Amino acid sequence: MEVVRLASFSERMNELRVEGCWKKVDIANGTGLSRSAITKYESGERDNPTREILILIADFFNVSIDYLSGNSDIRDKDVSNKTISEIFTKLNDDNKIQFVKYAKYLLKEQENG
């Protein structure tokens, strides 16, 4: 089985900055962090941002924290375990059953290629 390596936090920051044609000063101004902090996060010199900093940067780039931190390849902020769980708990019982049935259907389709 092939192990897929996801990008690191610093790689994702660099990728998102370059992709969006952002300057480091733009990110600093948009997040309230210093330009030097942005440089250190992007270079990997600082590789352990707090949750608050992850939220600031993820919000700036409009991506999920999991994507930014390299834990997922899903960019969409609305596709996270927490969001899905919150949606599920708000559903009535009949819709919860439909939700689970559809999720199982998608899994089966995925397995069948």
Model confidence pLDDT, tens digit, residues 14-48: 999 999 999 999 999 999 999 999 999 999 999 88
Residue 22 neighbours by CB under 8 Å, 6+ apart: 16
| Measured distance CA(31)–CA(53) in Å, rounded | 8
Average pLDDT of the segment spanning 66-75: 88
Mean pLDDT, the chain, as a whole number? 90
**What's the full length of the chain, in residues?**
113
Cα–Cα distances in angstroms (integers) from residue 39 to residues 17, 52, 61, 65, in the given order: 11, 18, 16, 19
Radius of gyration of the chain (CA): 18
Residue 75 has phi, psi (to 5 degrees) of -75, -35
> What is the domain partition of the chain in residue ranges?
9-68, 81-112
75 near 20, Cβ under 8 Å?
no
Closest CA to 10 of 42, 58, 39: 42
Per-residue pLDDT band at 100 (split at 50, 70, 90): very high
Give percent above pLDDT 70 in the chain: 95
Q: Is the pTM here over 0.85, yes or no? A: no
**Residue 101 identity (one-letter amino acid):** K
Statement: residue 4 has pLDDT above 80: no
CATH of domain 9-68: 1.10.260.40
Residue 27 neighbours by CB under 8 Å, 6+ apart: 17, 33, 38, 57, 60
